[in-house]
A and B are shown apart, each in its own frame.
Chain A
Amino acid sequence: MKLRTALMATVFTSAAFAANAQEVTVMSWGGAYTKSQVEAYHKPFTAQTGIKVNSVDADNPAAPLKAQVEAGNVSIDVADVEFSDAIRLCDEGLLEEIDPSILTDAPDGTSAADDFIDGAINDCSVGNIVWTTLIAYDTNVFSDNAPSTMADFFDTETYPGKRGMRKSPKAMLEMALMGDGVPASEVYDLLETEEGIDQAFAKLDSIKDDIVWWEAGAQPPQLLADGEVAMTIVWNGRIFNAIASEGQPFALIWDGQIYDLDLFVVPKGAPNKDEAMEFIKFATSTGPLAEQASWIPYGPARVSSIARVGTFHNDDSIDMGEHMPTAPANLTNALQNDFEFWADMDSELSERFNAWLAN
């Protein structure tokens, strides 16, 4: 009898252990962005389900994801990737399909399919935020004559100083064209042509000696704070964080911003696929998406969450709504990243970009 109890106890404890050992590994972009996800998704998710969330970071999670799947050694369960990468990875068969029926409906009963914004629900990916790439500058440097347009970024005569840019053709080529006077609506039509690409590279070339290149999203606020650059291309959430939390004297230029979706994907062969789906279901529900927006000004990818966006998590005087890429005032000359263009052209433009960099 005693032995049996002991055995039972062992069985139950190990079962409990197995339950405790449930975990899911989420890869994101690091810095203030990962922090917002940990606060809004990971912690409440663990509290609700008991599933532990391991958070890992990469400069761009799409690259390690592809490497892991191709090498047959997958250690991440969920990754946060850009729209074009989500489509490309899905085309290449590197992602698990996500059944849209697992997504939760809005609290008012609107179905998930209607509640998510356009493009957020795909075969292998579910959108979580809208983020943008834009210009930030140091207000101390340009105290008399503040820059206000994309053209000013490329005008180092009137606005002297180094420029920070991301070491990747994506968004930089579009910005070069907009800086050259091309209206946002015509950018991609022009980039489809060889002349358009030449024009973009020529524009970049005109300030090449003044560019400091960055690779990780946490670098540009640092470059600005160090005085290494006077103006930089940056992701809006990172720079907002430097301004709101650290009180840095930076200002943003919304003219020519390029906004894009970030989406959750599950790599093929993810070790904890079921938990991954659970996580995505939880994180993309109305509450957590709205909560995330109180930590960083990235717009939630569903309508019911946008309505709930409030103030900054530790400062009630900052209304997060007006710092969103999708706020009407910020959209006067904005461009939506063309995911199909980049899914197709990324590798060849990267090749040309590398050659241009090295020359």
Chain B
Amino acid sequence: MTALGGLGTAVLLAPLLAPLLAGGAAAMVGWRRAVAWSAVAASVVILASGVLAAVATTDGSVLVVGDLLRADALTAVMLIVIGGVAVIATWSGVGYIDQELAAGHTDARGAGRYGLLVPMFLAAMVLAVLASNLGVLWASIEATTIVTAFLVGHRGGRKAVEATWKYVIICSVGIALAYLGTVLVYYSSQHSGMGSQGSLDWTVLVAHADRLDPGVMRVAFALLVLGFGTKAGLVPMHSWLPDAHSQAPAPVSALMSGVLLSVAVYALLRYRVIAVAALDPGFVRILLLTAALTSLALAASMLIAQRDYKRLLAYSSIEHMGLVVLGAAVGTPLAVAALLLHILGHGLAKSVLFCGSGQILALEGTTQISGVRGLLARRPVLAGTFALGLAALLGLPPFSLFVSELALARAAADAGLGWALAVALVLLLVVFVAIASHGAGMLFGRPPAVTAPPGAGPATAPVPTAAAVSSILTRTLVRPQALAPVRTAAGVAPLVTGLAVLAVLGVVAWPLDQLLRAAALIAGTP
């Protein structure tokens, strides 16, 4: 275990401080262009520290800051996930909020609150993955419920308030159950031979895992799967997901789907390592398999007759998390490496799709699938990125979700779970056909005769959609921070970047391969 001195400390502290600073700036100054870009800068800092941590920990070493913060290869992967998704979401958010201000959907206070809460959310997520104490992990995931509550309700109005209430209630209940599970883990650690002062430090628990009482740990692990599974969108406490994602602003949905769900699964992974040593591994596997397969089945069922494209993306997140937890149930190093790659790929793809859907919403004014027709003919660039995003989400090469699903399949077959794999693949086929047919309805065909200005023109000329909208609506409530309308090319840039990264990840193994294998050694059990 090396500490790499000052650089190690910087790598661990920078991703915490950067978003806090960005949030502080927003709190003091309100929504400004510089503030908006500072959030993007904070995300880049998180990504960069993730990369640096990866470089440092691929060989198995660990970075620490005192007793509080700790980074191993698994943490580095999660930092990269958080950073990558955050870059796309915050970059897209710059234009998004400007569009909202111009269109009058929000005011300066709302924009300022957005600018404060998003970096706070990022800070909480980073703290969760950097924490070495499982209690701090729990507390930071709990904190995100509070932070995102007002982000979900950003738009205001009946549906947003309803979504916020359901989100807060269901997630709080889930997190409370996770808290009970944490308490029980602490209880069993007190009687496991490390003295009456038990511990919630993950390394200590892993070292003493075989002496933890199986009976208590069973109840604890079951509660933890239910509790953190709520935040991960697993059945049975998944119902907040579609409501929250459909009402939240698009970049926030991207962050929730890409970051929040991933960190919840990360928590499950950490606990799984302890549980597998303390309990009968078969029990752990069956519990996780049940959660995974029921979530997949639910997602497939709800996608068939889906009418709202944002809810469609939300249920797709449930489906992918089900797949990831299936990998966790298998638990071998190949499975864990595959599921980590899948978390990264899903986060990027989902953020591209949600940010794209935000622009489609701004264009069409409806989230109903039947209300969007012939998008490829009208807005080739936006529709093209959305189509490629859907292709990535459905697991088509060259995007990385295909290789991660393939590796998961191989790992499941190697572990003798061929039947579970067969069920999962059939459900994925149902999901594929459902999403493909809904997407095809939106994208292909001739555009309807009566539409907004058809001046899409050639694909390369950026059409300022926000300008078009603002020319239609009158500017009455003057917002002091009303910024220039966003051009389509700028709006699509983060999406294209995300897709390009996904394609590269899907084809080139280096350098992520080594990092994934190192992380898999930590979280996987052969």
Are A and B part of the same complex? no
